[in-house]
Amino acid sequence: MNQTRVVITGMGAVTPIGIGVDAYWDALIKGVSGVSEISRFDASALPVRIAAEVKNFNPTDYLSKKLVRETDIFMHFALVAAQEALAQSGCLGSVEPQRIGIVMGTSLSGITTIAGTQQEYGQTPGYKVSPRFVPKVLGNIAATQIAIAHGIRGPSLTVNTACSSGVDAIGTACMLLKAGEADVMLAVSADSVLCPLMVSGLAQSRALSTRNDDPETACRPFDLTRDGFVMGEGGGAVVLETAEHAKKRQGAVQAELLGYASNTDGYHVTSPDPDGVGAIFAMQRALEKAGLRPDEIGYVNAHGTSTKVGDEMETLAIKAVFGDYAKNLPVSSTKGATGHLMGAGGITETIACIQAVREELIPPTLHYQHPDPACDLDYVPNQARAANIRAAISNAFGFGGQNAAVIVGRYQPE
């Protein structure tokens, strides 16, 4: 077994409840909801008119006007989150450009630019598609733009595993470090899918909450009255390093990456295996790789999207993995605050776990009022809770039966 230890030295976040890790974490702990009526486009004719948009975000406050013109909104989120994570880490001056790499996670890349351009092209005679169109919509160009901005020349990969993309970006980055392909890796994830095409498609599949008259509490994970998830958007980034490299440059360590695992259900293109087989294996394998017993986990950041089937399946899986200890294990879903950030959520929710370990606070599951007999765990309802946490696990599940789990914990130097 590879004994290389991997640590996190930087974090960055762009979310519907705050831009920057401090603002994001503060809003999570205070129970702020980022869900409201859609303002980016006219949604009045759509069956779902609510979402968790990133608010008060002006990309030119962080990026050049030229770069903003050349990139899709999901890339804006990725670039800003990466910028914050790299600044906190302070790693760039201490590593050769070829020894730092990027793994980018995104589920739908530049879908808003694609949909908007197609609409213009179909409605406007003689409309000329911009030469910037193709690089604006390709998923891997987000990593390219980050590399150009920061002089990064190491491995560069882009993963698309639906809503598991963020956790899989972290896991892939970790594997590259353990394989000796880099000393530092930047894992980034970002998505912005808020456009009429995506809202309509997901609404028709009955995946979304239709609480248009009560947007703030529409996302209510594990609650008996939940009726679907709320679309969100954002970006997250973490800087991963070998512990040896961080020690050598005297970098400040935020947490240690203890374990990661991923798999597929092999069951259905959209529905999870109702027995939770894949989710169970992902958590069990992550624990095995971390060398931890189930009762050494102090907090589970659940995928918890607020869908009936998904929340029931995850509850079943957690009970299968943690046994009797599950009754006393705090579990919360931060999606009640942020909505579902799609591929971006895997990293922003891992950051929530890191902060929970560091601050000894568990963020709550918002809008939990009506217990569901099929969801019978401790979901930390509505208020943050103090807790001494050594290690925390974050789950991410996606269409296609994608399952991923990552464990972070306090760093104990040798």
- Looking at the annotation, which residues are catalytic? 163, 303, 340
Radius of gyration of the chain (CA): 20
Distance CA 339, CA 221 (A): 10
Q: What is the DSSP string of 290-316?
A: HT--GGG--EEE----S-HHHHHHHHH
**Residues 336 and 306 sit within 8 Å (Cβ to Cβ):** yes
Distance CA 93, CA 86 (A): 11
| Residue burial 35-68, b: 16+ Cβ < 10 Å; e: rest | bbebeeeebeebebbbbbbbeebebeebbeeebb
Distance CA 398, CA 284 (A): 18
- 């070998």: which residue's tokens? 242
Residue of 403, 370, 391, 129 whose CA lies nearest to 261: 403
Distance CA 167, CA 395 (A): 8
Distance CA 221, CA 242 (A): 36
